[in-house]
């Protein structure tokens, strides 16, 4: 069985997202396939950058998701291939999953939080993306495939995705969010830090196996993850002009900087997202 099949299979939730993220030369590209069953509306949302210039393209169309196939208008997402087009942007991409899987869980509380998530942060892409008539070839480009689902978007969050630390074999993903339990107030802070390095994966789930905190504005903030194996500190930054406005209070860049404090490691093209 394809290792992505179980991760990407539709959960038939009120709100469900599938997205890919990649870098290929001067292109930074992220596309969400969004099925809003509760609202009866589906959307394909592209967030991209050419050089340091970002933009967002949206397409609304009837959509459905069954098994591992998502169809929204003429756009399709599957277990190893996605295609689509909107305005002057089109893409045809194949992907293969690498080792490493981020799937944070809290025993006895599955389904209690606003959203559940599974991510494959070591995915490799091939194909092409065309923007305004210019074709950008994608060959063995590093990126990620993520699937999340639930009853509603959390009220606030920070998301960090970084995999370009020079010669260091380090990939990390981190989410810290403000979520409700079973859709009711009061909300609580929860999140995870997943790292993969030298063939070893580690997962800290806050507040279950550690504690994650964030201090500072989205343009320059510090994240601290404390757990039984020690403390990881990240400093994440991006100027305001590098963030795309996705609506709903969500701002995102794939051109952020993520530094691992104390290790002289930095990813200059990290994915950073914040919801106010």
User: Has residue 270 got a pLDDT over 90?
Assistant: yes
Which of these, 54, 58, 91, lies nearest to 255 by C-alpha position?
54
Which of these, 24, 15, 68, lies nearest to 43 by C-alpha position?
15
- What is the per-residue pLDDT for 84? 98
Cβ atoms of 167 and 62 within 8 Å: the answer is no
- What is the per-residue pLDDT for 108? 57
0.85 surpassed by pTM: yes
Q: Across the chain, what does the average pLDDT equal?
A: 95
- What is the per-residue pLDDT for 107? 72
Distance CA 142, CA 137 (A): 13
Can you spell out the DSSP letters for 184-227?
EEEEEEEEEEEEEETTEEEEEEETTTSEEEEES-TTEEEEEEEE
What are the structural domains, with CATH classification, of the chain? 5-275 (2.40.370.10)
């Amino acid at each position: 069985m394809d290792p992505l099949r179980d991760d990407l299979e539709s959960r038939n939730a009120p709100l469900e997202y599938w997205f890919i993220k990649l870098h290929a030369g001067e292109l930074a590209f992220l596309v969400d396939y969004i099925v809003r069953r509760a609202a009866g509306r589906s959307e394909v949302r592209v967030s991209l950058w050419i050089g340091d210039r970002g933009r967002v393209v949206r397409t609304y169309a009837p959509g459905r998701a069954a098994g591992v196939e998502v169809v929204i208008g003429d756009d399709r997402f599957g277990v190893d291939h996605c295609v689509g087009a909107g305005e002057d942007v089109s893409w045809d991409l194949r992907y293969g999953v690498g080792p490493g899987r981020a799937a944070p869980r809290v025993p006895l509380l599955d389904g209690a939080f606003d959203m559940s998530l599974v991510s494959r942060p070591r995915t490799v892409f091939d194909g092409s993306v065309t923007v305004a008539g210019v074709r950008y070839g994608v060959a063995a480009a590093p990126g990620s495939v993520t699937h999340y689902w639930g009853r509603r978007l959390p009220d606030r969050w920070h998301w960090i995705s970084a995999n370009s630390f020079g010669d260091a074999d380090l990939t990390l993903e981190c989410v810290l969010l403000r979520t409700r339990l079973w859709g009711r107030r009061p909300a609580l802070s929860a999140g995870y830090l997943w790292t993969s390095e030298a063939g070893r994966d580690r997962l800290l789930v806050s507040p279950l196996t550690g504690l994650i905190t964030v201090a500072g504005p989205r343009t320059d903030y510090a994240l601290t993850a404390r757990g039984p194996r020690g403390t990881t500190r990240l400093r994440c930054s991006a100027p305001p002009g590098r963030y795309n406005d996705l609506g709903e209070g969500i701002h995102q860049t794939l051109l952020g900087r993520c530094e691992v404090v104390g290790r002289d490691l930095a990813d200059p093209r990290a994915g950073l997202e914040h919801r106010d």
